[in-house]
Amino acid sequence: MLRSLSIRDFALIDRLDVEFGQGLNVLTGETGAGKSIVLSALDLVLGERADAAMVRSGAGRAAVDALFDVSASGPLLSLLEEMGLPAEDGELLLTREVLAGGKSSARVGGRPVSIAQLRQIGDGLVDIHGQHEHQSLLAVSRHSGVLDDWGGAPIAASRAACAEAFTALRALERERASIETEASERARLLDLLAFQAREIEEASLRPGEDTELEAAHRVLANAQRLAELASQAGLALARDEGGALDALTAAQRATQEAAALDERLAPVAQSIASARYDLEEVARYLSRYADTVEANPQELRQVEERIELLRGLKRKYGATVEAVMEHGREAAQRLAAVERAEGRLPELHELIAKERARFDERCAELTALRRDAAARFSAAVACELADLAMERTRFEALVEDAEPGARGADRVEFLIAPNPGEPLRPLARIASGGEISRIMLAIKSAMARRDPLPTMVFDEIDAGVGGRTASVLADKLAALAADAQVVCITHLPQIAGRASHHLLVEKVMQGERTVVRMSALADEARVEEVARMLGGAAVTEAVVQSARELLAR
């Protein structure tokens, strides 16, 4: 049950604190007084979408707190426990804040929660019926959901099984369709994959081979120049006069003789000797290198051909030899998969037949549950209509065959015959606004009795209603309020007269700004408001007396 609502800097509301009670709570006031703003604030704290426009002009943020008594809400308490949000002393505080920039946050019992969690909790606390909801109820596409909600857990489980079977069937059918492409396209793909895999395999590639070939090509293409340079270098080191080795030999003899006189020069003499030995080895290597390096046009041609082969493969399959090799492995795997897929067709046909049979079975089970629920739902709505002075109206939730899908193989439509002797017709063809409102209330009442929520909110569902219909709507709302808390925004004095708690919503000037105020009415203040609702601008003594009589009844 909603105990209180606290609103700060929300739209035209600067500060508003209101308490609600058990039974029927009505909100009244002139058109445009701000009743819908209050309801929008309640929507927000229950998890609806936030918008920067909700923040009062000049304020940095808007905030809404809603305090609920959840001591008798068993399923909700279990949900809160699963979320780690225990309700202390049977009370639950929901908080929603919206910054001027549009970002919002939510808390439950002072703990941060996601908006999805807040909405899930809100769905178990309040059921809101808007003034235009009867229009959406006229849409046939909504009827299946209403009936399924009425059917409860058995239908929900059956529908989930049906959706699972449908998804599995569609996956197999998509696989079969993928395999059953045109023969020419499949053959082209097979030829392409086979060619690519074979071409790369026959190349016998090695990782890093392209780098090795480039190095070998440089040597073969410059063999003569390499031999000349090696000979020149070796001659510079080893010629008899003026060569580096000859100079080092002289230096070695001199330093060895000097080291005999001064031992500090011994390391120097040793270094020169070591350098001389190293240069001798280098000179010998250069001589051998110059003798072995020779032009080999045939080998050069072979290397160039191999390099060109690798370049062609890299242009087609990847930037490196490693990438080309990986492409070859993938092509071979895809080729094997396509070849296997062709052999899988017979197995797929068998699997699809079995899955279709399973799906059909699930659809049949769901249809049976829906038809059983439809009979009970039709009877429940007819009973509610009788309470709304439409006892001679026939109502039927029709379940027909439809194209199978994830939600089963049924089409649900609500049919009605308001007058005896008339055939059942689609609900959308009902012309009377009063009848539509009563039918909608009857359906909502049946749903509420099936799975009641602690609080039900009705936003001007009495639009276009008057006379005797207004009285029966008031009776029905009062009857609902005997089992659950009902909050109703209304313009009908008949409904206001049945309230357990009457709240007046007004717009007032505060300085140079308009703000919304709400106050609880009792005694003469309530008589005055009901009189205004009865008489409009002309509130005579007779109208006031009528208001007293209405409240007395």
Note the pLDDT tens digit of each residue in 485-519: 999 988 889 998 999 999 999 888 888 888 889 99
State how far the Cα of 539 lies from the Cα of 413, in Å rounded to an integer.
46
Q: What pLDDT was estimated at residue 130?
A: 64
Name, of 292-306, 447-461, 519-533, the range with top average pLDDT: 519-533
Task: Output the pLDDT for position 172.
Answer: 93
In sequence order, which residues have a C-beta less than 8 Å from that of residue 132 and are 6 or more positions away?
none
The pLDDT value recorded for residue 359 is: 96
The percent of residues above 90 in pLDDT, for the chain, comes to: 30
**What pLDDT score does 263 carry?**
86
Integer CA distances (angstroms), 79 to 73, 90, 120, 362, 545, in order: 10, 14, 9, 29, 50
- DSSP for 288-310 reads HHHHH----HHHHHHHHHHHHHH
The H-or-E segment that residue 50 falls in is: none
Q: For 10-19, 61-70, 240-249, 526-535, which range has the lowest pLDDT when averaged over its residues?
A: 240-249
Q: What is the mean pLDDT of residues 163-187?
A: 82
Of residues 248 and 367, the one with the higher pLDDT is 367
Q: Residue 362: pLDDT above 80?
A: yes
* Tens-place pLDDT, residues 444-479: 888 877 766 788 888 877 766 667 777 888 888 888
> What number of other Cβ atoms are within 10 A of residue 427's Cβ?
22
Q: What is the pLDDT of residue 366?
A: 96
d(CA 383, CA 388): 9
Query: In angstroms, rounded to a whole number, what is the distance separating the alpha carbons of residues 444 and 456?
Result: 10
Give the tens place of pLDDT for each residue, 1-28: 999 999 999 999 999 999 999 999 999 9
In this prediction, residue 215 carries a pLDDT of: 84
Burial profile 136-150: b = 16 or more Cβ within 10 angstroms, e = fewer? ebbeeeebbebbbeb
Q: pLDDT per residue over 333-356, tens digit each?
A: 888 877 776 677 788 889 999 999
- DSSP-derived letter for residue 69 is E
pLDDT confidence band for 169 (50 / 70 / 90): very high
Handedness of CA 150, 156, 157, 161 (dihedral sign): positive
Residue 371 amino acid letter: R
pLDDT at 64: 95
CA distance 176 to 165: 17
Q: Compute the average pLDDT of residues 247-259.
A: 83
Look up residue 184 and give its two tokens.
């020419």
3-state secondary structure (DSSP) of residue 11: coil
Given this model, what pLDDT does residue 454 score?
80
**pLDDT for res 9:** 92
Work out the average pLDDT over 57-71. 92
* Average pLDDT over the chain, rounded to an integer: 86
- Res 396 pLDDT > 90: yes
